[in-house]
Chain A
């Protein structure tokens, strides 16, 4: 039991930005657009730091995959209380096609290398909404998973996870090492304090390449087209219930 927790953090377009599709429809505009840490990743970092403050784990390592700019995101995690960071360098075309399968392979390799006991991730990223990385990572490592966590309790090597599911709340008990993905109500992320931001400067960020971890980041998926959702059309007013049923049948809805 190393007491080490790996937290994955993703640099995404800031939630407040109005997204625009590129004119060639190959993706969305990211140049010059404000980016920040995925909100669910912030919740993941907060949970890891909380566990460390309760002295249940010893070290929090923040990991991010991408080009030079993701170091900003790792620094934010360090300012929130992570101990050190790992920057997995992926840039250019590889970064554009980087998806949950490749990231989960990277995280699995890092988990083995760092001898992590626990991986905490956000449940999904707000840019692609995949909701796959946590699950895939657990599968690759053959570790138990507690996804959509709204409450996590750690006791020695046993984890009690309350999960938010469609039917309500499900409580499971899993053994470490495990993967947990954070849902919205797990915690409220702290503000970094000015002293912590300054301390974060001294914390180390290691650079690693996917090849060093034996991971192939080429994608099996090809994005054909990216479009805006269709413009909302005006509705139609009807006089009677019969008219309504008639119109619904016309539109093929019933």
Chain B
């Protein structure tokens, strides 16, 4: 019965085609500009180029025209995201039997990189949503997969990932939200902080303590909005990521059925970390898209802006600066794609490589976007120009999904544990 529902959903997705807006042919703002040496389609298979093309087209037509408005008015663009889901972006690396697209981590990275050029904040949320859908797909039993995944893949329902607490960020394993077993329910008490989508989303993947101290005492529960005892804090006012609401998620004697637990008791931390490996690739991909767009914006500005009697593009310093930005961009992209391949192949170095990629790419891309802003001069500081939004939006990528300091911890541990 549930399988038939999933199949019907697949048929529904296939027969309804989503059309792009008329601006495709006469779009004067060419965000997906062309520059051969930093072309993100180099080295991709024909199929990957097709995925990338759809993502770029969608970003240019459905997201880029609205990205400033979504940021300034703090709009959670549900309709645009559902349109993306119709194209298969709701569960990119989720199994097709529950409505996902079944693509690889590399395909996913390429798609998020392209979508991010249209709006970093929205793409970053879509990637978090994808991570949650994957966790349920991978660690859930068949009932859980069939109950939650189809709606998540179509974005009929939205998801949030709840790990961080006011008292435990980097030290995630010390989380305090408790889940005490009472009959066939866990009673949750505690609160989560900085939850992306919190309050507006429907499905919460929550890491909570069912056992003793440390990581082994943590389990993973799926909590649905509307469950008594589940409430939310005020919407946070952020520097960027404004197209997604961020709130505290509060549990007060919140009863969650045992059947909503993903995996066994004590496996929650491991599930959370495995989700984050992919999440780190995705977040870094979003940084990459922003940096790519910023390099093109900087280049275009340099060709137009004149000072001292000539265009900025004649200034050797700026030429060198642009070259450095492009080099860092390509280096970041290569490292990230390698990490994505390592993850999808299940290689032993995958965790370290994902951490290295997240660390390097988010740092370098922030620097690239920041330099692009500088090249714009005073105009770069105005909200009329997109470059400042890229800078503000990707700044947080160096902090969440594991701070870049934690990334160093992971890498160092891997190096030193061999001796």
- Report A's interface with B, CB cutoff 8 A: 14-18, 32-34, 36, 39, 49, 53, 71-72, 75-76, 79, 81, 184, 187-198, 200-201
Contact = CB atoms under 8 A, between A and B. Distances in A.
Contact of B34 (A16, A192, A201): A16
A193 B50 contact: no
Contact of A32 (B18, B36, B102): B36
A188 B22 CA distance: 7
A191 B34 contact: no
Q: Point out which of B17, B24, B47 has the most chain A C-beta atoms below 10 A from its C-beta.
A: B17
Contact of B88 (A34, A188, A193): A193
B20 A189 contact: yes
A194 B92 contact: yes
Leading 9 A-B pairs by shortest Cβ distance? A194-B88, A190-B17, A188-B19, A194-B101, A16-B30, A197-B50, A193-B87, A34-B34, A39-B25
A231 to B, nearest CB: 16
Interface string B30-52: 10111010010000001101110
A17 B101 contact: no
Nearest to A200: B50
Contact of A14 (B21, B22, B34, B101): B34
Contacts of A188: 19-22
A34 B40 CA distance: 12
Given A184-B25, A190-B20, A197 B51 contact: yes
B263 interface: no
12 contacts: A17-B34, A49-B17, A53-B15, A189-B19, A191-B54, A191-B87, A193-B87, A193-B88, A195-B10, A197-B50, A197-B51, A201-B47
A197 B32 contact: no
A72 B34 contact: no
B20 A79 contact: no
A32 to B, nearest CB: 5
Given A192-B53, A193-B13, A193-B86, 6 more contacts: A49-B17, A189-B24, A191-B87, A193-B88, A194-B87, A194-B103
Interface string B53-73: 110011000000000000000
A32 B92 CA distance: 30
B241 interface: no
A15 B25 contact: yes
Given A16-B33, A34-B34, A191 B18 contact: yes
Contacts of A15: 25
Contacts of B47: 197-198, 201
Given A16-B30, A34-B39, A72-B46, A194 B54 contact: yes
B24 A39 contact: yes
Nearest to A32: B36
A201 B47 CA distance: 8
A196 B101 CA distance: 10
Contacts of A53: 15, 17
B96 A195 contact: yes
